[in-house]
Structure 1
Amino acid sequence: MQDASRPSEAVVTVSEERAVSRLVRVPVERVRVRTRVVTEVVRVDVEVRRQELVVERVPVDEDEARAAATTDLGEPEEVVVVLHEEVPVVTTETRPVERVTVRARRVESTTPVTVDLSREVVEVEQDAGRG
């Protein structure tokens, strides 16, 4: 029998799961940065000059002919004329044209995460026939 001076009681502790999040840093992508050489054919127009032979024949008038007249033809004359032309000579030189900086930047955002949480529920059943 129960002691009438002490009420009867029962204590039940109810627990539930709580969502606790933490961050784990994982690699997602690897990026390589390198240069490569691309060769292309480029047309460059270069202005060049050249010499051309011009032969001009001018008849000698009668007075000049009499003044220069001789009885002997003399030694054959020879004149050498050297003609020149310009020829393009193309060389290349390497110069820096651009500086590329690659860095990672931090982007912050909020991501919704769905988690199933369980909890205890207290149920009280009472037998109707006993007292």
Structure 2
Amino acid sequence: MSTPSPAPKNEREFGDPPLESPQIPDKAVGLTSDIGKGAYLALFSQIGISLLIANLGGALLGHWIDGQLNSGPIFLLLGFVGGFVAGAVAAARLVQRTLRRLDAFDVAAKVAKREREARERDAARLKGRVE
């Protein structure tokens, strides 16, 4: 029994798979783009640092106050909780600011896409009239 010969390439149902993913020029700026990846990496770093500094600062301040007043660890605990709240507020502000910035990039990319499409349509119309 012989195997049938493969169909010519133009008659195949499915072509060869592409070796790389297609580049979509009008893709929104987000986590999958280079700008988005760097922005999210910076955001997560800033969140971690702000939480660390706020917690550590609040705890150290509370420990210092406890040492000055010769009290128990009450101010240490209050400083830690206050530092955590301050760090959480700072992290929320960082997230809001970063998301607004990424939204602005998305809007700018969409506007540029619409302008490019309008120029291409105008060029196609002019080309059709000239010929």
RCO higher in structure (CA 8 A, sep ≥6): 1
TM-score by length of 2: 0.30
Q: Name the one with the larger helix percent.
A: 2
Question: Between Structure 1 and Structure 2, whose CA radius of gyration is higher?
Answer: 1
